[in-house]
Amino acid sequence: MNYNSFNTPVSLRQMKITDVFWKKEMELVRNEVIPYQWEALNDRVEGASPSFCMRNFKIAGKMNQEKAQKGDKYVEPQYSFRGFEALPEDPNHLEEKFYGFVFQDSDFSKWIEAVGYSLTQHPDPALEKIADEAIDIVCGAQQEDGYLDTYYIINGKDKIFSNLRDHHELYCFGHLTEGAVAYYEATGKDKLLEAAKRFANYIYNYFGEEEEKCKGYPGHEIAEMALVRLYEVTGNRKYLDLSSFFIEQRGTKPYYFDSENHPDQTRKEENHLKYSYHQAHLPVREQKEAVGHAVRAVYLYSGMADLARLNEDKSMYEACESLWEDMVEKKMYITGGIGSTHMGEAFSFAFDLPNDTAYAETCASIGLVFFARRMLEIKPKAKYADVMERALYNGVLSGMALDGKSFFYVNPLEVNPIACYKDERKHHVKPIRQKWFGCACCPPNLARLLSSIGSYAFTESEKTLFVHLYMGACLTKKIGNQDIEVTIQSKFPWEGHVAISVRAKDTDFELALRIPGWCNGYQISDLEQFEIRKEDGYLYLKKNWLEEEHIQISFQMEPVLVAARTEVRETVGKVALMRGPIVYCLEEVDNGKDLHLLSVEATKSITLIDKKIEHESVKAITAFGKRTLKTEENGLYQPFKEKQSKEVCLTYVPYYVWANRGENEMQVWTRVE
């Protein structure tokens, strides 16, 4: 481990994203998702089932006030602990109690996190005022002792931390902390950060190695990485220690979750998902295979990578590397989708990557991006950035419609709409994006990722700026006492040209450029003027910088037919089409019904064309293909005749834009002639 290579994200306040492609996504989040989400948090979206999120905080706050006023005379109300409190039959007569999922608090936290990031790129006093008021409401619910989870505040605090496996308290804490740090870093306002710290202190006093402390850990991971962020922003080592405790404790025997009394005892003891679903089947350093609920898994691995870096922990990094390799070499779709089965929203076994029943949750690809960026922070290897880029341009972006108004949880690689309605095995697959979800996980997760996208593109160490993704941006960086400036212009992902200007005179600034794995060749202007080092797919450039230097880069970006390893049964005899980081697919709207009857001719030419999908200008691709002629004879089964087909022109569009032109068939993998 070369600790000198450690690097961390460039602060969003040190950059302005100017990229055409990503700026548009950020603006969608700012203009569509964040306002919509605020309405949703306040139960004001017509036709959508209420969130109850802000309502729960208000009720908890009101209970706090009553308690303060009545003192000893205050009697805690008694409610049930059912994990999900549904709307009563008459929605106009709500009781003063908790409604919604146990993790409903996190909806606010994800929103405030996205708001924070957005404010760094686009100051908006009106939005900031709404956010401040929301923070007041949330902080009003916090208990004197620091505890802050409305489900238990409202239902009775005697039960707190009694069901870590299922009840998401530590998950809500994690999101609260992520949101608080983001908002503090964006605005400098620390009210929510202070609340998160007080809750973190409470948790620190409750859990830990000391004999009297609870030995539990989160059922749904995220607190691990959130505590690291809290440590990094506060410098208080105990938050790092608590994260370490949660991570090291996980999967040790006797299994902590077995000591809990779970109201739902229907989960079968024999169920092999029982522990692995939570990545709690083995101590984390012994885990070599990515298993269980995919989102939880990558959240855990992200926390592990954080610890590996901060504790300079070689064996933890090796554990992360094993899990990484298992995941990206055996269990990842070409789109960067992970978690191929809807049973437990989980990883399936190695190379089991069915296209039509895929789960590939948007949040899981987002978590994969988290993990990848953290692996890059430890050691900048292009292989991590390649996967991060793959997920971002494909399996993540496909989660949101081009108008930012509807969303996919599940990102299949092949869809026949009729199957989504008529085949119960595919009920999780939707042929068209949905407005919003009762369980609001993917849309707000997209919002927080997209509005902080710059921190995935660029990281820095003392003297080096790492460009992981070629995203248009203006960045500043301190080298000693000097401010240097780097400006990047790019038309990624549609063109491979990048222009970089550097103002770093009289510094020993180093520019580290990723050479994408998909790129067969590249040119850099005046390369001979630099002192060059190439390592792990990065090109490190140094020189005596003049006042302003201009660098031109051109990455080859040809359409390429791609095959999966022969172990992947579902894609044998089939190919996908990629160009640069973009995975392409066929849609019915361009290619007619029955996409399964199409094949692509590998030896013939492939042409790039410009196409508008809604208002999105994309590069589409046309290729020679064949369409198997339909059966003419009667009879479900007939003697095979020499293949009958006709020549057709196949039109491929980027995977992330699919299902923006109505409900239709789609497929990524097509038979090859």
Specify the residue, 435 or 643, whose C-beta has the smaller distance to a second copy: 643
**The tokens 């992970």 sit on which residue?**
338
C-beta of 638: minimal distance to a second copy in Å? 6
Catalytic residue among 128, 185, 345, 414: 345
Q: Which of 200, 209, 213, 222 is closest to 149 using CA atoms?
A: 200
State the nearest-atom distance from the C-beta of 578 to a second copy, in Å: 8
Nearer to a second copy, 4 or 566 (CB): 566
Active site residue 345: yes
Distance between CA atoms of 175 and 109, rounded to whole angstroms?
Answer: 5
- Tracing tokens 């990545």 back to the chain, one arrives at 279
563 binds a second copy (CB under 8 A): yes
DSSP one-letter code for 596: G
Quick count: other Cβ atoms within 10 Å of Cβ 263?
11
Instruction: Compute how many residues bind a second copy; rule: CB under 8 A.
Output: 57
Work out whether 637 is an interface residue with a second copy (CB under 8 A): yes
The window from 235-243, 335-343, 374-382, 434-442 that contacts a second copy (CB under 8 A) reads: 335-343
Residue in 348, 362, 459, 651 binding a second copy, rule: CB under 8 A: 348
d(CA 272, CA 281): 10
Beta-sheet strand order (sheet of 549-555):
15-17, 473-479, 482-490, 497-503, 549-555, 522-524
Radius of gyration (C-alpha) of the chain in whole angstroms: 26
Binding window for a second copy (CB under 8 A); candidates: 95-103, 282-290, 371-379, 589-597? 589-597
Shortest Cβ 516–a second copy spacing (Å): 14
- Candidates 70, 80, 349, 439; binder of a second copy (CB under 8 A) is 349
602 binds a second copy (CB under 8 A): yes
Select the residue interacting with a second copy from 14, 163, 357, 464 (CB under 8 A): 357
Sheet holding 464-467, edge to edge: 8-9, 458-460, 464-467, 510-514, 538-542, 531-535
Asked whether 369 and 449 are in contact (CB, 8 A), the reply is yes
For position 648 contacting a second copy by CB under 8 A, the verdict is no
Beta bridge partners of 653: 585
Q: Considering the rule CB under 8 A, would residue 609 count as an interface residue with a second copy?
A: no
Please, what is the minimum distance in Å from the beta carbon of residue 571 to a second copy? 9
Nearer to a second copy, 129 or 422 (CB): 422
Residue 640 interacting with a second copy (CB under 8 A): yes
- Give Cα 659 to chain centroid, integer Å: 20
* Largest distance between two CA atoms of the chain: 88
Q: Which of 53, 441, 519, 585 is catalytic?
A: 441
Binder of a second copy out of 282, 561, 608, 648 (CB under 8 A): 561
- By CB under 8 A, tell whether 282 contacts a second copy: no
Q: Which CB, 127 or 561, lies closer to a second copy? A: 561
Restricting to residues 385-444, name those near a second copy by CB under 8 A: 416, 418-419, 422-425
Reply yes or no: is the peptide bond before residue 493 cis, omega within 30 of 0.
yes
Place of tokens 């020499």: 642
CB within 8 Å of 596: residues ≥ 6 apart: 667
The one-letter code for the residue type at 364 is: A
Catalytic residues: 345, 441
Applying CB under 8 A, which residues contact a second copy? 273, 328-330, 332, 334, 341-344, 348-349, 352, 357, 416, 418-419, 422-425, 560-569, 572-573, 575-576, 594, 596-597, 599, 602-603, 628-631, 634-643, 671-672
